[in-house]
Amino acid sequence: MLRAAKAGVSIAAACSVSYWIYDSTAPRLSQKEGEPMTLPDFSIPGLGPKMSIVVGPDRVRTVNRALKAIGGIESFVKRGDRILLKVNAAFATPPMLSATTNPQLLAEVVRLCLKAGASSVVVTDNPINDPTSCFALTGIAEAAASAGARVLMPDERFFRPTTVSGGTLIREWPLLHGPFKGTNKLIGIAPVKDHHRSGASMSMKNWYGLLGGRRNLLHQDIHNTIKELAMMVTPTLVILDGTTTMMTNGPTGGSLGDLKGTNTMIVSTDQVAADAFGATLLGKPLSQLTYISKAASLGLGTADYGSLKPVRESAG
Amino acid sequence: MRIQTVRRISQVFFAVLFFWFCIVSTLGEKWWQLRGWPVNWLLQLDPLIALGTMLTTRVLYAGLVWALVTLVLTILLGRYFCGWVCPFGSLHHLVGFLGRRRKPHPERVAVNQYRRGQSIKYYLLIFILTAAAGSSIAYLVSVSQGWPMIVWIAAIAGLIIIAVFAIMKLIANPRKAVAVLLMVVGVWIGLSLLLPVDRMVVASLQIGLLDPIALLYRSVNLVLLPVVDAGVHGLSATQRYYEGAWLIGTIFLAAVFLNLRIPRFYCRFFCPLGALLGVLGRFALWRIGKAREECSNCELCDADCEGACQPSGRIRISECVLCVNCLSSCRDGLVGYRTLPSASGEVTSPDVSRRGFLIALVWGAAAIPVLRLSGRVGPNWNPVVLRPPGALAEEDFLARCLRCGQCMRICPTNIIQPAGLEGGPEAFWTPILNFRVGTSGCQVNCIACGQICPSAAIRPMSLDEKLGRNEHAATGPIRLGTAFVDRGRCLPWAMDRPCIVCQENCPTSPKAIFTREEFSTVRSGILPVKEATNLTVEFEGSPLQPGRVATGDYYCAIGAGTDEHRRRIVDNTSNTITIAPSWPWEKPPAPRSFVHIQVRLQLPFVDPKLCTGCGICEHECPVRVKRAIRVTPENESRAKERSLILQSAGRNR
């Protein structure tokens, strides 16, 4: 009798579990990685486009002067702001080779942000070479840490899909989203570099390092990709470092012979204008950098940087 | 404090030290990362590794001299290393202890009985040492060919030693010893007179397959840490992958769980280091033994005996791992660690039969020459066998590699992988490069693998040497191989798609990957003109997808398309194209003529003079499953036989 009861319970359990999890349809092919999200607009409302170009060999002095010329860091960074600095840490090369964001410049920007009252500064990138090696060898990790910023490595858990509204390429694409948590200001810091496929790697191309997944596929349509990156990201500010320009063999460089001292620091709220000026340091006509005119035609900025009446100074 | 407690403290200390070394083998500058921690120390203490590499290379490399400490202490004290130091032994000890904890006394005595199978480890030792000894034997023979007197000097020295030993009564049967000596001398003379032995005998170091320290390093570094760190990401920012980790893990777990059946299973039956220490310890000054033959025969000492050396009867000295359990379990206090032999007698020699000895010897001597017949080290080189930067020429490499996995652990990009059978059975678990896994190719500014390698199978070299800078400028950079573009898979070559990710990521300056521009008329891209102006063309029908040819990579050309007739397209609808306003047509294409829609391609080429085979291109290639650019060991620095391009004189690269 007891055995019959046990058997009955077992059968009932098996049947009810089967009924509960029964699925009459075959599973669909799953490629989903969560709900797509978009990045907010990080620009300062009502400020309008501003740009400054400061000539000089010392990055710390030029960036200070350039920021001061467009109203000082205080007009961009308010007390309690949480800042994300997107650097270019793509390659595991020493800072001397200028393939990556200069650590001294980074440390100075971190310092200025903290001085302006920022409650936290985070530095991030999804490099091409091994991430740990990149952040270590470029001097970025040490510079950031010593200046009081936190470095966030591209942990797999930090990626979430994004879709650029109006875009055709960056759709449900993995975005390095983790470091953006709680952030309300975004500053891009990139060097001026030759880039064989797109012509030049500067402020707009720098956002490529926010993408994950199979991003190398995007090279098949590089100009529209960079345009969509500019659609995806509206930064508070971009700092384009033309102190040393990589004229050849970009974007990796690898030799001092690929570099040229151009002694220019560009700070702008308009990334298109900054890149349009950066092209002149490389000596490339805008017609070779199709992505600039593509971005300009969408109203993401102006390719005619002169129209912003950039403040030109010398710190030297 | 009881002596067992001291032993346990020692075991815990060395086990913790071992795990600590595994953890700190992480690139970085923090105190818990690799910054001068002697992470190879336990490998260096291992006399089997020292002896094996000595046989294959005839030198004792750097830190391996630490093995002398173990050697001397073992000769004086016995197999203390097994019972007190070896972390693998301690793991077995613990699991075996847990396994027999609740078992009744007779069963415990039974599992700790001596078994004949315990001699397997001696045969394994003979096998791997003979396999390693080939080059030393060849050396001896070649020396005697050059200077025949050495044979007679050695023979006379041997006779004198035997005579002295016989007088001191250290040898039981001097006649037999003389016979063995005469046989060795005879074989020596015979070989040197009759055969070019040095060309027949080859050697490689197979010790790492079974050596407990190498095995444990490999298991922890390549299996345990990656599994544990997968959730934490404390040691590595990304998941680590190791080809064939399942086998390493299976062997490790099997070795651990076999202790539940027979305690210290691995130590008793398989461990070649234990065998070597057993042989070395046979003349130990201090040894375990009974003070009086008669005792209560309670067998309490046998019940907890780790080495299964039978302390209650004729103790087998070479099996005793000095666990010292018997010292405290004897209720009459009869068992001690003393200079006198046991009152119940002892068996000092390992239980090795002459026949078994000879079989192991012949197998060992034949193994490597037979394996080499597959030609994997020579003409039949497998294209996937790429070695880490600084690896020695293959035969020298195989003479030193311990398969400990330290290089695979330290590689920041995870490209160093344990080989399966790619290099033949002889190269099993040796490091090979795989540019598809991991986080990049071989990083230009990294020399970690050579710096950590305990046996210099991968040479410790400077960054200058790797990059061919300064005093190494004349030899050029270390090349791992050469990249080849697979034109049937490459997007620009095969599919009219712009790409050149490989060229962009090539880290050399000037880049080893360069491009040639080509304008290729796209499929169905010859379109009839309906109407045209200086900047726009309208086609018949609607042949175009809007925006498709406006990416900046597309051009249009009148007729076959020469440069002066080619214009860049900046915009297109389904039936019109707009060209760049900076360069309008002077004479627009005539109605009903044909316009060619062309894509501008940059076709990648590899310059073998500049390519270092770092594999970054292969890692980044967007053709994912089988890469469209792949590195093979062509032109690698360490092997002249795989050189690729003719080096003309007067060039410094």
Q: Is residue A71 part of a domain?
A: yes
Q: Is residue A183 part of a domain?
A: yes
Closest residue of A to B620, CA-based? A216
Q: Is residue B298 part of a domain?
A: no
- As a whole number of angstroms, the distance between CA B50 and CA B455 comes to 9
The closest of B402, B407, B404, B378 to B390, measured between CA atoms, is: B407
- As a whole number of angstroms, the distance between CA B254 and CA B258 comes to 6
Domain that holds residue B586: 517-606
Interface check for A130 against chain B (CB to CB < 8 A): the answer is yes
What are the structure tokens assigned to B155, written together?
């023979």
Closest residue of A to B510, CA-based? A249
* Contact list, A257 vs chain B (CB under 8 Å): 509
Q: Which of A174-188, B169-183, B279-293 has the lowest mean pLDDT?
A: B169-183
- A 186-225 residues with CB < 8 A to B: 195-197, 214, 216-217, 219-224
Instruction: Please state the rounded mean pLDDT for residues B256-275.
Output: 96
Interface check for B515 against chain A (CB to CB < 8 A): the answer is yes
Please, what is the Cα angle at B396 between B392 and B399, to 5 degrees? 125
Assign B621 a pLDDT band (cuts: 50, 70, 90). very high
- As a whole number of angstroms, the distance between CA B11 and CA B42 comes to 13
* Contact list, B236 vs chain A (CB under 8 Å): 132
pLDDT at B27: 82
Kindly list the distances between the CA atom of residue B191 and the CA atoms of B144, B187, B204, B370, B453, in Å, as whole numbers in the listed order: 10, 6, 21, 19, 36
B450: left (phi over 0), alpha (psi -120 to 50) or beta: alpha
Q: Is residue A35 part of a domain?
A: no
Count how many domains chain A has.
1
- CATH number (domain holding residue A310): 3.40.50
Instruction: Please state the rounded mean pLDDT for residues B382-393.
Output: 96
Phi, psi of B286 (to 5 degrees): -105, 140
* Contact list, B491 vs chain A (CB under 8 Å): 220
Q: Is residue B133 part of a domain?
A: no
Interface check for B524 against chain A (CB to CB < 8 A): the answer is no
| pLDDT > 60? residue B561 | no
**Greater pLDDT, B34 or B564:** B34
**Residues constituting chain A:** 316
Assign B564 a pLDDT band (cuts: 50, 70, 90). low
Interface check for A93 against chain B (CB to CB < 8 A): the answer is yes
Q: How many of the other CB atoms lie within 10 Å of CB of B31?
A: 8
* Contact list, A253 vs chain B (CB under 8 Å): 509
**Residues constituting chain B:** 653
Q: Is residue B198 part of a domain?
A: yes
pLDDT at B76: 92
Q: Is residue A166 part of a domain?
A: yes
Phi, psi of B155 (to 5 degrees): -65, -45
The closest of A216, A138, A210 to B443, measured between CA atoms, is: A138
Q: Is residue B72 part of a domain?
A: no
Q: Is residue B152 part of a domain?
A: yes
- B 549-608 residues with CB < 8 A to A: 551-553, 568, 570, 580, 582, 602
- As a whole number of angstroms, the distance between CA A25 and CA B227 comes to 35
ipTM for the predicted complex comes to 0.88
Q: Which helix (H) or strand (E) holds B428?
A: none
* Contact list, B568 vs chain A (CB under 8 Å): 287
Q: Is the distance from CB of B536 to CB of B578 less than 8 angstroms?
A: yes
For residue range B449-483, what is the model confidence (pLDDT) as tens digits?
Answer: 999 999 999 999 999 999 999 999 988 999 999 99
Q: Is residue A226 part of a domain?
A: yes
* Neighbour-count burial for B405-415, b at 16+ CB within 10 Å, e otherwise: bbbbbbbbbbb
Q: Is residue B172 part of a domain?
A: yes
Q: Chain B: nearest CA to A249, how far in angstroms?
A: 6
Q: Is residue B450 part of a domain?
A: no
Interface check for A131 against chain B (CB to CB < 8 A): the answer is yes
pLDDT at A30: 67
The beta-carbon neighbor of A196 closest among B239, B500, B551 is B500
pLDDT at B653: 43
CB contact under 8 A, B504 and A290: no
Which residue is it, tokens 């709220």? Answer: A269
Q: Are strands A120-124 and A150-152 parallel, antiparallel or unpaired?
A: parallel
CA A295 to chain CA centroid, Å, is 16
Q: Chain A: nearest CA to B235, how far in angstroms?
A: 11
Three-state DSSP class for residue B370: helix
- As a whole number of angstroms, the distance between CA B387 and CA B430 comes to 9
Interface check for B145 against chain A (CB to CB < 8 A): the answer is no
Q: Are strands B287-290 and A259-268 parallel, antiparallel or unpaired?
A: unpaired
CB contact under 8 A, B237 and A222: no
Q: Which helix (H) or strand (E) holds B595?
A: strand B594-606
Kindly list the distances between the CA atom of residue A131 and the CA atoms of B31, B170, B412, B436, in Å, as whole numbers in the listed order: 20, 64, 9, 16
Please, what is the Cα angle at B15 between B459 and B97, to 5 degrees? 135
The beta-carbon neighbor of B498 closest among A220, A287, A291 is A220
pLDDT at B147: 80
Give the pTM: 0.90
* Contact list, A156 vs chain B (CB under 8 Å): 238-239
- As a whole number of angstroms, the distance between CA B93 and CA A300 comes to 69
Q: Is residue A11 part of a domain?
A: no
Report CA torsion sign: B609, B614, B615, B619.
Answer: negative
DSSP code at position A114: H
Return the residue in B229, B440, B463, B545 with the most chain A beta carbons within 10 A, the one to mutate for interface testing.
B440
- As a whole number of angstroms, the distance between CA A183 and CA A122 comes to 9
Please, what is the Cα angle at A99 between A95 and A102, to 5 degrees? 45
Three-state DSSP class for residue B530: strand
The closest of A150, A284, A123 to A206, measured between CA atoms, is: A123
Count how many domains chain B has.
2
What are the structure tokens assigned to B70, written together?
């173990």
Closest residue of A to B500, CA-based? A197
The beta-carbon neighbor of A254 closest among B233, B508, B547 is B508
Q: Is residue A29 part of a domain?
A: no
Those residues with Cβ within 8 angstroms of residue B532's Cβ, 6 or more apart along the chain or in another chain = B538, B585, B588, B589, B590, B591
CB contact under 8 A, A254 and B622: no
* Contact list, B582 vs chain A (CB under 8 Å): 287
Report CA torsion sign: B293, B294, B295, B297.
Answer: positive
Q: Chain B: nearest CA to A291, how far in angstroms?
A: 8
Instruction: Please state the rounded mean pLDDT for residues B184-209.
Output: 78
Three-state DSSP class for residue B250: helix
Three-state DSSP class for residue B45: coil
Kindly list the distances between the CA atom of residue B617 and the CA atoms of A310, B386, B416, B500, B653, in Å, as whole numbers in the listed order: 40, 15, 16, 10, 21
| pLDDT > 70? residue B295 | yes
Q: Chain A: nearest CA to B632, how far in angstroms?
A: 21
What are the structure tokens assigned to A79, written together?
């007390």
pLDDT at B198: 64
The tens-digit pLDDT sequence of chain A (316 residues) is 899 999 999 999 999 999 999 988 888 776 665 677 889 999 999 888 999 999 999 999 999 999 999 999 999 999 999 999 999 999 999 999 999 999 999 999 999 999 999 999 999 999 999 998 999 999 999 999 999 999 999 988 899 999 998 899 999 899 999 999 999 999 999 999 999 999 999 999 999 999 999 999 999 999 999 999 999 999 999 999 999 999 999 899 999 999 999 999 999 999 999 999 999 999 999 988 999 999 999 999 999 999 999 999 998 7
pLDDT at B652: 46
Which residue is it, tokens 């998941």? Answer: B239
CB contact under 8 A, B509 and A255: yes
Instruction: Please state the rounded mean pLDDT for residues B537-557.
Output: 93
- As a whole number of angstroms, the distance between CA B545 and CA B530 comes to 17
Domain that holds residue A256: 42-314
CB contact under 8 A, A132 and B28: yes
- The one-letter code for the residue type at B147 is W
Interface check for B239 against chain A (CB to CB < 8 A): the answer is yes
Q: Is residue A53 part of a domain?
A: yes
pLDDT at A34: 64
- As a whole number of angstroms, the distance between CA A111 and CA A147 comes to 6
Q: Is residue B424 part of a domain?
A: no
- As a whole number of angstroms, the distance between CA B174 and CA B178 comes to 6
